[in-house]
Amino acid sequence: MSNDQGFELSVSVPASEWAELRRRVLYLEATLVQVMREARCLKEWFSGAELVALRLPGLPASKNAITRLAREAEWRFRVVTCQGGNRHEYHFSSLPRRAFETLIERVLAATMPDDGEADPHDLVPSLPPPASPMKEADNTAPPWVLPLMRAIRLDGAATVREAVELLPRHLPAGVACPTMEEALDVLRRLGMVS
């Protein structure tokens, strides 16, 4: 690379890091349409069970064997809390070369029409979507409601306005104090005021 005066600039990057970055770019290019359509569909992390289900070449056919391989090869992973405990999810860039390349081929071929001509905007990979976050139940209350009740009971607040004014001394660290309107909306929803 050179600037306007012809100064040469070069940067040394370890081969393993360069290879991982190239793989990441390739994968992200292959799944860019997912981001354009719906960001939550982008999948970079796979559980052992998902990798077994994908039947990628070069990967073992059981969850335990994938876990052993991942540990031995020092794959990047994250711990995800799920029903029944925790599980490891492995980053796609850690997959062995053949498995990685096959995954990319599947992503690219997922919606390719029979004639082989595809509009890039129609390429949507058919990978399993990431787990969706748990939706709060309709009857859950913000973390400031119980402290608000304490302000009413312990401090003798006669109105919601008084309770909201006294609320800061009852709130735990990190819990924001609601506005008067927010407090009234939630208390109405919970049937505590009319």
Buried b (16+ CB within 10 A) or exposed e, 159-177: ebeebbebbeebbeeeeee
Domain boundary assignment for the chain:
15-122, 145-189
Locus of tokens 């890039």: 120
Q: Find the range with the poorest average confidence among 64-78, 108-122, 131-145.
A: 108-122
pLDDT at 60: 94
Q: 149: how many CB neighbours lie within 10 A of its CB? A: 16
pLDDT at 71: 94
End-to-end CA distance of the chain: 70
Task: Check: CB of residue 88 under 8 Å from CB of residue 51.
Answer: no
The model's pTM is: 0.44
Q: Count Cα atoms within 13 angstroms, Cβ side, for 18.
A: 5
Q: Which CATH architecture has domain 15-122?
A: Orthogonal Bundle (1.10)
DSSP structure string for 107-129: HHHTT--TTS---GGG----PPP
- Does the pLDDT of residue 149 top 90, yes or no? no
Query: Going along 26-185, which residue ranges are E strands?
Result: 45-47, 77-82, 85-91
Contacts of 6 (CB under 8 A, 6+ apart): none
pLDDT at 38: 54
Cα radius of gyration (the chain) = 26
